Each structure stands twice: as structure tokens, then as C-alpha cells.
Amino acid sequence: MDDDEFPMSDLEDLFGPEIKVESIPSSPQSRAIVDRRPLSSISSPNTAPHQTPSTPDGTPIPFVRPQFPPTVLPFPRVTGLSATTVLRTCFRIGEAINAASVALRGSADALFELYCRVKHSDREPNGYQQFFEFVDLYNPDSSPMIEGVCAIWKGVDLWDFDSSAFLGEKGRGKMARVMGRMKRKEGGRGWEMTVLNIWEAKWEDIEVVKDIVCSSDMKNDS
């Protein structure tokens, strides 16, 4: 066996046990199989389980992410790096609104990764739009609200499956990971998000991303 080859037993140890997956009705535009494990369950011999800090009664402790890093220079030395589009990962509704305001003032194209709760969601009768009311993870009853609209779920089985989890009473209060772009509502009062993707999140998923974004080693470049 060559030096750059791995025994199959070593590969099994590296990648962990077999992943159980869930089948989704197939279509030409959807994936046939989706891994539904929480991000925190995808581990390696070098990673420890992610724990969500909580109070004695089990309530997760609220947190605020560090400041966003400055955008890159117009002509960065890193090939392919650009400030044309910026990613804003937010764990609080207030953070997302503030970041959207800054992006609007600076005419930046900001893509948002928002972790929040869904207060309510429904779909147009015989239509193609799904509407959302996004509220804060920790203060859902007293936080500002961001309205969301997803117009791309219909006709794609996977997107239909993911977004339907938030419909009606069964979806009320569920946590979500939302990808999209934000803009002011007509009239300038409030914010709305064009939802590009949404699926249910768990505290373990949030903790994994928090560890990346809020790591003491990455506060200046995360």
C-alpha cells in the first residue's frame, strides 16, 4: 500500500458512524436524500460535544455576537476576495435590524444568516408565496418583528418540506435558520426579508455557529 493511502478502517474512524438519512419525495430540482442531524452531532476525534450554556432551570442564556469585521479593501491581496457581498450572521432580531440599517446606509449587498423563532407562517391560497413573522430567540413576545416572504418553495420538494414545518399552529415558536436579504418595508416602517432558504434549527446548531462566530480567536476576523 502506498504511503498516501489510508486503510478503510482508518477512514471509518475519521468520518464516524454511518449517517442515517431521511428520504424526500424526488423531483428534478430536489435532492433525494437529506442529512437531518444537528450540526453538533457531526463530530470528529478532535472535537468535543457542543453544550448550550443555560440557567439552573435549563433556560438557554442569551448572548450577543461580537462586532462584525470590517469589509475588505477594494483591491485585496487575496485572489477572489471581494466586498461586493457581505455575510451577516445574526442571533438576535435587534442585531439583524441594526446590520440591515448599516448595510442600507453603505449601499452594501448583505446576505443574512438569521437564527430566530417563527411566530406565525401561512401560504397564499392557491398561490406561491409563504409569509413569516420572525421574532427573537430569547424574547419572542417583546422583540421587534421582521416579516419574511418566500416565493421559491413551490415546485421544489425539499424547499416545500423545509418551509412547511413552520405552517400553522405546529410551526408556532419553532426556531429557524433563515438565509435571505433584508429591506425596509414600503413606507419605511419596519423591515422585511426575502427568504432564500429556511429550515428548522436546534439549540445545538446555534451553539456550533456561535462557537465559530464568537470564538475568542476569531473576534477580529469572524
Across the 222 residues of the chain, what is the mean pLDDT of every consecutive 10-residue run?
A: 45 42 43 45 42 61 72 67 81 93 88 96 94 94 91 92 95 96 89 96 91 64 39
CATH of 86-213, one of 3.40.50.2000, 2.40.50.140, 3.30.300.30, 3.40.50.300: 2.40.50.140
- Nearest CA to 140 among 172, 180, 188? 172
Find cell 440599517 and name the residue: 101
- Residue among 194, 201, 110 at smallest CA distance from 150: 194
Question: What's CA 141's distance to the chain center, in Å?
Answer: 21
- Predicted confidence at residue 220, as pLDDT, reads 45
Give CA separation, 138 vs 17, 53, 168, in Å.
Answer: 34, 13, 21
Q: Hey, where are the domains in the chain?
A: 8-41, 86-213
pLDDT, residue 170, reads 93
**Threshold 0.85, pTM exceeds:** no
Q: What is the pLDDT, as a whole number, of residue 86?
A: 86
Give pLDDT, residue 115. 96
Helices marked H in 153-214: 157-164, 168-171, 203-213
Q: Which CA distances in Å does 95 have to 15, 16, 26, 113, 115?
A: 36, 36, 37, 11, 11
In this structure, are residues 154 and 124 in contact, taking their beta carbons and an 8 Å threshold?
no
**pLDDT value at residue 65:** 80
Instruction: Give me the pLDDT at residue 13, please.
Output: 44
Quick one: pLDDT at residue 57? 60
Residue with cell 423563532: 117
Alpha helices by DSSP H, listed for 64-177, are: 93-105, 157-164, 168-171
Cell numbers of 36, please? 437531518
